[in-house]
Amino acid sequence: MTAIILDGKALAGELQAELAVDVADFIQNNGVSPCLAAVLVGDNPASEVYVRNKRQACERAGMESQLHRLPDDATTESLLALVHKLNKDAAVHGILVQLPLPPQVEATRVLDAVHPLKDVDAFHPENVGRIVQGRPRFLPCTPHGVQMLLVRRSVPIAGRHVVIVGRSDIVGKPLANLLVQRGPTADATVTVCHSQTHDLAALTRQADILVVAIGRARFVTAEMVKPGAVVIDVGMNRTPEGLAGDVDFAAVKEVAGMITPVPGGVGPLTVTMLLQNTLAAARLQQ
Ligand code: NDP
3-state SS, 184-202, equals: CCCCCEEEEECCCCCCHHH
pLDDT greater than 80 at residue 280? yes
Whole-number pLDDT of residue 74: 98
Give the pairing type, strands 258-259 and 230-233. parallel
For residues 171 and 126, is the Cβ–Cβ distance under 8 A?
no
- Give backbone dihedrals phi and psi of 115, rounded to 5 degrees, phi first: -60, 130
For the segment 33-43, the average pLDDT, to the nearest whole number, is 97
DSSP, res 116: G
What are the residues facing 238 on neighbouring strands?
A: 243
Q: CA-to-CA distance for 119 and 27, rounded, in angstroms? A: 21
DSSP string, 218-255: T-B-GGGS-TT-EEEE---EEETTEEE-SB-HHHHTTT
Q: Does residue 98 have an active-site annotation?
A: yes
- Tens digits of per-residue pLDDT, 39-66? 999 999 999 999 999 999 999 999 999 9
Which of the following is catalytic: 16, 119, 121, 253? 121
28 is catalytic: no
E strand residue ranges, 105-220: 161-165, 189-193, 209-212
Q: Is 263 in the pocket of ligand 1 (CB under 6 A)?
A: no
Q: State yes or no: is 16 an active-site residue.
A: no
Work out the burial of residue 28: count CB atoms within 10 Å of its CB; fewer than 13 is exposed, 13-18 middle, 19 or more buried: exposed
Q: Rounded distance, CA 109 to CA 101, Å?
A: 12
Q: One of 98, 147, 208, 276 is an active-site residue; which one?
A: 98
pLDDT tens readout for residues 91-138: 999 999 999 999 999 999 999 999 999 999 999 999 999 999 999 999
The domains located in the chain, with CATH, are 31-115 (3.40.50.10860), 141-267 (3.40.50.720)
Q: Is the pLDDT of residue 86 over 90?
A: yes
Q: How far is the CA of 34 from the centre of ligand 1 (A)?
A: 31
Q: Which residue's CA is the nearest one to ligand 1's atom 34?
A: 236
- Which residue puts its alpha carbon closest to atom 36 of ligand 1? 235
| 220-261 per-position pLDDT tens digit | 999 999 999 999 999 999 999 999 999 999 999 999 999 999
Bond into 143 cis (ω within 30): no
